[in-house]
Amino acid sequence: MRAPFTPQRRIYLDANATTPLLPEVFDAMCPFLLESFGNASSIHQPGQRARSAVDKARSAFARLLNCRAQEIVFTSGGTESDNLALFGVTRPEPSANSEPAHLITSTIEHHAVLHAAEELARRGVEVTFLPCDKAGIVSPESLKAALRPNTRLVSIMFANNETGVIQPIQELASVTKRHSAALFHTDAVQGAGKLPIDLAPTGTLANVDLLSVSGHKMYAPQGIGVLFVRQGVQLAPLFHGGTHERQRRAGTENVAGIVALGKAAELACAWLTSSDADSPAALAALRDRLEQTLLAELPQAGVNGAGALRTANTTNLFFAHVDAESLVIALDLNGISVSGGSACQSGAAEPSHVLTAMGLPAEKARASIRISLSRTTTAEEIDEAARVISASVAQLRSMSKSWAASHALAPA
């Protein structure tokens, strides 16, 4: 695989914030920026070429999710897809028995879901936020106990953007269907393209009704996404205008972005079934190599979410007596790009809501960083990153009063 386009060559380990645009994806979309720029709703030849490209990309993405092409709705990204799912299904109007609508989600969701749920609550929807355990897992038992006759939607994320922890989506969706008439939505922004997804009527995720995807988390450009809407699900649109996307998402199609996402889906299909050096297993091995090196070299460090199933590319590490923001800045100055958590929370004074929901004290949460590899990450980059991270943590600890105090009190 060719190296991605980057302004300068550095070690980029923040793929959960955004992935590099793969050259193959850029090559696929470029003609629709410069040459075949027709509107896909126009009936002339340039419009027909654009429509054909959109249809081809829709089919390619449907193959990645193993669903029908007509169940794919193109959006501007993960946030819009999440909002369309929640607001399109969970409206404030009371049910037939006059009870207000009820939504169930979790405390560890991305803010695209959390803030949408909070807005629905302000509009009169009853919202239940399920807790997670210390590994970051939402239990099917807690979901079963929270279901009500007026529950309209359950929304639990597929894989966590901060820890990479994978939820038991198949079981959670099954519990929902066995014990209620509610629809089930999953934010799969950090799962699509990293994990197998089978949404066929007989597939492992047959009980999932709605699923959100963001292109820039899977090597396509920013500004394009997907909402899977299972056939038969009634969805109220967020936008009102033309009849685009089967009247589910008004607005002129982003043809170049859609073509790019279709190409990214083709590449993801190949990667997910690969067994060579460019495979999910190989990426997980690099992630584990980084973790093992850092834990061996640095005392009072650990992995948040250790022991749970995680996406192959993600680790969330804490380093006692180190401020995460200071560490992120130090690493950036040394050519290493990592994150203190979700990119949407950059600059936030509060500790990660995901880590505190997992039971971490605020001090430990503030000492945690997220490292997320991409499919272009090399072993040499991992070894260099481990060296720089170890040196940076040691240097920051040497300037920490709490670190000095803890060592001064330690027995000789």
Number of domains in the chain: 2
Among 216, 242, 272, give the residue marking a domain's end: 272
Do both 167 and 280 map to the same domain?
A: no
Q: Are residues 267 and 299 in the same domain?
A: no
CB-CB contact of 315 with 290 (8 Å): yes
264 and 323 inside one domain: no
For residue 67, indicate whether it is catalytic.
no
Q: Are residues 88 and 27 in the same domain?
A: yes
Q: Quick check: is 195 in a domain? A: yes
What's the start-to-end Cα distance of the chain, in Å?
A: 52
CB-CB contact of 160 with 354 (8 Å): yes
Answer with the one of 229, 250, 272 that is the final residue of a domain.
272
- Domain membership flag for residue 257: yes
β-pair type (210-214, 301-303)? unpaired
Q: How many CB atoms lie within 10 A of CB 96?
A: 7
Asked if residue 300 and residue 388 are part of one domain, the reply reads: yes
Q: Is residue 256 part of a domain?
A: yes
Q: How far is CA 126 from the centre of its chain?
A: 25
State pTM to two decimals.
0.93
Regarding whether 262 and 390 lie in a shared domain, the answer is: no
Among 354, 330, 331, smallest CA distance to 342 is for 354
Rounded Cα distance, 28 and 167, in Å: 33
Q: Is the dihedral of CA 92, 93, 99, 103 positive or negative?
A: negative
Q: Is residue 381 part of a domain?
A: yes
Statement to judge: residues 145 and 85 lie in one domain: yes
String of DSSP letters for 153-213: EEE--SB-TTT-BBP-HHHHHHHHHHH-S-EEEEE-TTTBTTB----STTSTTTT--EEEE
Query: Which tokens hold the place of 347?
Result: 């600059």
Residues 237 and 283 occupy one common structural domain: no
The reply to whether 4 falls in a domain is no
**Side-chain-facing half-sphere of 18: CA atoms under 13 Å:** 15
Q: Across the 412 residues of the chain, what is the mean pLDDT of every consecutive 10-residue run? A: 55 97 97 88 85 95 98 97 97 72 98 98 96 97 97 98 98 98 98 98 98 98 98 93 82 94 98 90 97 97 96 97 96 96 58 95 96 97 98 93 65 39
Q: Cα(251)–Cα(15) distance, rounded to whole angstroms?
A: 29
**Are both 294 and 167 inside the same structural domain?**
no
CATH of the domain at 178: 3.40.640.10
pLDDT of residue 408: 63
Query: What is the distance between the alpha carbons of residues 233 and 143, in angstroms, rounded to a whole number?
Result: 22
Residue 411 lies in a domain: no
Contact between 213 and 192 (Cβ < 8 Å):
yes
Q: Which residues of 11-33 are buried (b: 16+ CB within 10 A; e: fewer)?
A: bbbbbbbbbbbbeebbebbeebe
Q: Is residue 316 part of a domain?
A: yes
Structural domain harbouring 155:
23-272
The tokens of 41 are what? 């709703």
User: Do 195 and 303 share a structural domain?
Assistant: no
Instruction: Provide the CATH number for the domain around residue 351.
Output: 3.90.1150.10
- Where is 405: in which H helix or E strand? helix 401-408
How many whole angstroms from its chain centre is CA 61? 17
Residues 360 and 218 in one domain: no
Residue (of 88, 162, 71) closest to 125 by Cα position: 88
With respect to residue 3, please indicate whether it lies within any of the assigned structural domains: no
Residues 221 and 322 both lie in one domain = no
Of 30, 132, 269, 344, the active-site residue reads 344
Boundary (domain end) residue, out of 256, 272, 288: 272
